[in-house]
């Protein structure tokens, strides 16, 4: 049950990063993404994927500050595949 919830949240975070990439949102949106990914990364800190999640959280602030690039899509795809894999 918790795995499916976290997978759903990863898919939602990928969508929110897409919104940030296109400049939709205000300061609470990257704060939400960053807090969620840091809390999740802290819960599972022994796993390499948790460090990647925390990096994506930091990168969400960088996107919000105006440094959107094609790398954003790689991060979105990563979160999407992780979210979809949690349903299998």
The boundaries of the domain holding residue 55 are 2-85
Q: How does pLDDT run across 29-76, given as a tens digit for each residue?
A: 888 888 999 898 888 888 898 899 989 988 888 888 888 888 999 999
Return d(Cα 60, Cα 30) in angstroms, integer. Answer: 6
Alpha-carbon distance 41 to 77, whole Å? 18
Please give the model's pTM, rounded to 2 decimal places. Answer: 0.87
The pLDDT of residue 65: 85
Domain count, the chain: 1
Is the pLDDT reported for residue 10 higher than 90? yes
Task: Quickly state the pLDDT bin for 6 (edges 50, 70, 90).
Answer: very high
Query: Phi/psi at 83 (nearest 5 deg)?
Result: -70, -45
DSSP secondary structure code for residue 77 in this structure:
H
4 close to 88: Cβ distance less than 8 angstroms: no
Q: Who's near 2: CB < 8 A, 6+ residues apart?
A: none
């Amino acid at each position: 049950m918790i795995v499916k919830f976290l997978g759903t949240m990863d898919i939602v975070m990928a969508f929110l990063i897409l919104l940030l990439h296109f400049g939709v949102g205000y300061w609470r949106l990257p704060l939400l993404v960053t807090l969620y990914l840091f809390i999740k990364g802290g819960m599972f800190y022994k796993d390499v994927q948790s460090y990647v999640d925390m990096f994506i959280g930091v990168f969400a602030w960088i996107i919000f500050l105006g440094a959107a690039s094609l790398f954003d899509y790689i991060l979105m795809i990563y979160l999407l595949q992780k979210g979809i894999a949690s349903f299998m």
